[in-house]
């Protein structure tokens, strides 16, 4: 077992070389899909060796490789600008050049005769980036910039849980566990009923039930049966994951879940006992984070100076999609509720207009459809007015640099949907907004009913609204939690209506 752990450590340390920065984003995703499960297996091995702290580091290094590229490129450079402005300027210049070269759509590899190919240009930029970051780390070690999570000591890992426990749920053929990180310790809770085969079977049954519920013309009896599958899934999550974890956290009122893998699309925050007793919603306020590193960076971003202004985007009648009759009234209500809000609706809600407006508003609300692309997750997109000609994709959002933003509220469908092969990478619309700079994001695990989505959004904004055009986003998770609990109490037998919306961030 000791030699196996040594091998896993070496493999995980090499994982970032599988998808280096100079590759196009689609190529990075393809290559990472080929090594899915490596971090999970390494973490399971470390737990079996009695080293839960190492397991957390291995799991963190094995998840979110593409996310870590974005977070490295958005490191807090304030102190570096003060001590070495030239290095900081070059860092930002290379960061933006790499983003342009690798995050954009694939381009022909060969240019005119005598000019370097696109691949050669990306390779050169990546080499300059490595040299520059090595120099920054060597000359300014106190900054802590660009340091892999595996180099964090256990005290630094625990510091990410200062505001409440972070629970990394790991599903592996070699044993599944919940790695609970608190400010005092890192513990592993065995989850023997969470084997990969059972988890996959439960996930497929759950997703098939949601498809049946959303199918037009479904009979009442078929809908009730599908809702029964959803309830059974919530009961299974409670029994196998949430209850064992919360039993180890007596008195906890706030928890961050980091499920990943096969559990990435399942609602741990809404897990409920089969007998209808108190569940997760009655015990804790839940948020999600793809990795500890993502949560750490979200907190850094939340501490930056905030911008101002609210952007409301509404596309109630998108081309080629079902109409959203509640989107227009939802957007209008928000525009009236929040002083000075900017409304982009219908034909005004284009790719260019929205992308430009995001740079000038701290808060952004989207009342529209979203389409997840499981074949090419970076192609997942928000459905704007011109989505057929110029979609606003995960790729586009990830390229944005929005240092003063605070909250993106996605009153849209399935904004956390991604490919099962890339579940550990969290390549979806919610993470794209986080990469763009939003510390707080509200998204959905599956389709949001039009009327229910509007009701939840209005409840949340009424609680966050300060009356002067700003929002107290520090209370986003709590506000969403209360809105969801109210819905659950109103529709206890229909969890598909209230268990889908989640908060990501600090």
Query: CA 317, CA 302: separation in Å to the nearest integer?
Result: 34
pLDDT of residue 109: 41
**317 and 466 both lie in a single domain:** yes
Query: CA 214, CA 217: separation in Å to the nearest integer?
Result: 9
Query: Last residue of some domain: 228, 262, 288?
Result: 288
Whether 82 is covered by a domain: the verdict is: yes
Residue with tokens 């000075």: 340
**445 and 335 both lie in a single domain:** yes
**247 and 349 both lie in a single domain:** no
Are the C-beta atoms of 242 and 225 separated by less than 8 Å?
Answer: no
- The partner residues of 363 in beta bridges, in order of sequence, read 310, 407
**369 and 479 both lie in a single domain:** yes
**214 and 242 both lie in a single domain:** yes
| Residue 471 neighbours by CB under 8 Å, 6+ apart | 310, 338, 362, 363, 406, 407, 461, 464, 465
**409 and 480 both lie in a single domain:** yes
**362 and 242 both lie in a single domain:** no
User: What radius of gyration do the chain's Cα atoms show?
Assistant: 22
Domain with 221, as residue range(s), is: 168-288
**224 and 351 both lie in a single domain:** no
Instruction: Going residue by residue through the chain, which has 506 residues, state the pLDDT in tens, using 9 for 90 and above.
Output: 668 898 888 888 777 767 666 677 777 777 777 777 888 999 999 999 999 999 999 998 888 776 666 666 566 566 777 788 888 888 878 877 876 776 544 444 434 444 457 777 778 887 887 888 888 878 877 665 556 666 677 888 898 999 999 999 999 999 999 999 999 999 999 999 999 999 999 999 999 999 999 898 899 999 999 999 999 999 999 999 999 999 999 999 999 999 988 888 899 999 999 998 999 999 999 999 998 988 988 998 898 888 999 999 999 999 888 888 889 999 999 999 999 999 999 999 999 999 999 999 999 999 998 888 777 878 889 999 999 999 999 889 988 889 899 999 999 776 666 666 666 666 788 988 998 999 999 999 998 888 899 999 999 999 999 988 889 999 999 999 999 999 999 999 999 999 999 999 99
Whether 24 is covered by a domain: the verdict is: no
| Count of the separate structural domains present in the chain | 3
**253 and 402 both lie in a single domain:** no
Query: CA 320, CA 326: separation in Å to the nearest integer?
Result: 18
Whether 176 is covered by a domain: the verdict is: yes
Are the C-beta atoms of 94 and 77 separated by less than 8 Å?
Answer: no
**241 and 316 both lie in a single domain:** no
Q: Concatenate the DSSP letters of all residues of 167-217 into one string.
A: EEEE--TT--EEEEE-SS-EEEEE-TT--HHHHHHHHHHHHHHHHHHHSTT
Are the C-beta atoms of 45 and 10 separated by less than 8 Å?
Answer: no
């Amino acid at each position: 077992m000791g030699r196996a752990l040594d091998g896993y450590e070496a493999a995980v340390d090499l994982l970032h070389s599988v998808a280096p920065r100079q590759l196009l984003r689609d190529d990075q995703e393809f290559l990472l899909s080929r090594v899915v499960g490596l971090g999970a297996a390494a973490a399971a091995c470390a737990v079996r060796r009695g080293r839960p702290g190492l397991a957390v580091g291995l799991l963190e290094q094995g998840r979110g490789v593409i996310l870590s590229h974005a977070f490295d490129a958005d490191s807090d450079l304030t102190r570096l600008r003060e001590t070495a402005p030239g290095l900081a300027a070059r860092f930002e210049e290379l960061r933006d050049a790499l983003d342009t070269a690798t995050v954009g759509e694939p381009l022909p590899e060969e240019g005119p005769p005598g000019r370097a190919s696109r691949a050669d240009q990306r390779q050169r930029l990546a080499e300059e980036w490595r040299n520059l970051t090595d120099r920054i780390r060597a000359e300014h070690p106190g900054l802590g910039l660009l340091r892999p999570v595996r180099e964090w000591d256990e005290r630094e890992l625990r510091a990410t849980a200062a505001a409440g426990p972070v629970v990394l749920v790991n599903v592996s053929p070699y044993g599944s566990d919940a790695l609970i990180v608190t400010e005092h310790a890192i513990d592993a809770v065995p989850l023997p009923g969470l084997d990969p085969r059972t988890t996959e079977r439960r996930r497929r049954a759950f997703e098939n039930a949601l498809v049946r519920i959303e199918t037009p013309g479904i009979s009442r009896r078929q809908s009730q049966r599908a809702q029964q599958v959803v309830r059974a899934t919530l009961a299974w999550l409670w029994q196998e994951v949430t209850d064992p974890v919360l039993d180890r956290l007596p008195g906890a009122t706030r928890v961050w879940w980091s499920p990943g893998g096969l559990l990435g699309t399942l609602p741990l925050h809404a897990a409920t006992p089969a007998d209808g007793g108190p569940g997760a919603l009655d015990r804790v306020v839940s948020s999600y984070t793809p990795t500890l590193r993502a949560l750490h960076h979200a907190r850094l971003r939340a501490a930056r100076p905030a911008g101002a202004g609210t952007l409301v985007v509404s596309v109630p009648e998108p081309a080629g999609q079902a109409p959203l009759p509640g989107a227009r009234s939802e957007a209008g209500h928000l525009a009236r509720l929040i002083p000075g809000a900017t409304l982009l609706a219908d034909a005004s809600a284009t790719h260019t207009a929205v992308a430009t407006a995001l740079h000038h508003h701290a808060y952004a609300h989207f009342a529209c459809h979203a389409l997840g692309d499981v074949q090419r997750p970076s192609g997942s997109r928000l459905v704007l007015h011109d989505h057929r000609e110029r979609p606003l994709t995960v790729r586009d959002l990830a390229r944005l640099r929005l240092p003063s933003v605070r909250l993106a509220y996605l009153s849209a469908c399935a904004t956390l949907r991604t490919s099962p092969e890339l579940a550990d990478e969290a390549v979806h619309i919610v993470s794209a907004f986080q990469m763009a700079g939003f510390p707080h994001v509200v998204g959905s695990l599956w389709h949001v009913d039009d009327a229910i989505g509007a009701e939840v959004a209005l409840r949340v904004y009424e609680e966050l609204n300060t009356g002067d055009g700003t929002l107290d986003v520090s209370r986003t998770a709590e506000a969403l939690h209360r809105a969801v609990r109210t819905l659950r109490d109103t529709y206890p037998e229909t969890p598909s209506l209230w268990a889908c919306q989640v908060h990501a961030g600090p």
